[in-house]
Amino acid sequence: MEIGKNIMNLRKKSGLSQEDLAEKVGVARQTISKWELGETSPDLKQAKELSKIFKVSLDELTDNDIKEILVEKTSNTEKLAGIIIKLLKFLIVFIIVVPILLIVMRITFKNIHEHEAGRLMQVSIECTIHDENYSYEFVYYENTGEIKYAGGDGYIVNVTHANNYDDVHQALDVIDAYVKNNGGTCKISEEKPYEEE
């Protein structure tokens, strides 16, 4: 709606004549007539005075539909907030759930591996070479021979590189062969179930 028609409607709604409105605004009656016919428009000062007289905002006086703009901006803001909230929820779930899943999977696969690999066993090898005694102990999985822990005199590992082997039986054979080739003797203990201390 044009501002002139709006002024006319608001004037009639307020029960004012063109003369009455002209007197309140401080202009001639012909000025009000020209505004209502759309020939001219009130300046900013006059528009402010009209908004006071009719008790409406300047936007309502000029028929600027600010409400739709505000509703649209609010709607867009709400949509953006909704998207951000969904992303935050996803991130929180991802940050919490993924590590838990990884831990559960690791425990599950470890248990499956240990079940298939069998119980933990221990065996030690004691060797004498160049009138010195050395010992080394292995903890391994019964079914696969995979070494879980190993430790003892560093000399044995340094000269045989036994820690490079994944299979306990290979490691024992390498140590035994090295010691015998260098004039020593080894004794391998009886394999027994490993008991954690």
* Alpha-helix runs per DSSP H in the chain: 3-13, 18-25, 29-37, 44-54, 58-61, 66-117, 154-160, 168-181
Q: What is the pLDDT of residue 23?
A: 92
Q: How large is the average pLDDT for residues 48-71? A: 76
85 neighbors 151 (Cβ within 8 angstroms): no
Quick one: how far is CA 93 from the chain centroid? 8
Q: Is the pLDDT of residue 133 over 90?
A: yes
Q: What is the pLDDT of residue 117?
A: 72
Q: Is the pLDDT of residue 122 over 80?
A: yes
110/119: higher pLDDT: 119
Q: Is the pLDDT of residue 76 over 80?
A: no
Alpha-carbon separation of residue 108 from 57, 104, 183 (angstroms):
69, 6, 47
CA–CA separation, 12 and 21 (whole Å): 10
Q: What is the mean pLDDT of the chain?
A: 86
47 neighbors 25 (Cβ within 8 angstroms): no
- At position 19, the amino acid (one-letter code) is E
Structure tokens at 127: 């060797």
Q: What is the pLDDT of residue 154?
A: 85
Q: Is the pLDDT of residue 70 over 70?
A: no
Q: What is the pLDDT of residue 118?
A: 83
Q: Is the pLDDT of residue 112 over 90?
A: no
- Identify the CATH number of the domain defined by range 3-64: 1.10.260.40
Q: What is the pLDDT of residue 115?
A: 66
Instruction: Give domain limits for the chain.
Output: 3-64, 65-117, 120-193
Which of 53-57, 69-73, 88-92 is predicted least confidently? 69-73
Q: How large is the average pLDDT for residues 170-185? A: 94
CA–CA separation, 186 and 157 (whole Å): 14
Closest CA to 35 of 5, 64, 14, 13: 5
Q: What is the pLDDT of residue 197?
A: 61
Give pLDDT tens digits for 7-40.
898 889 989 999 998 999 999 999 989 988 989 9
CA–CA separation, 21 and 184 (whole Å): 124
- At position 37, the amino acid (one-letter code) is L
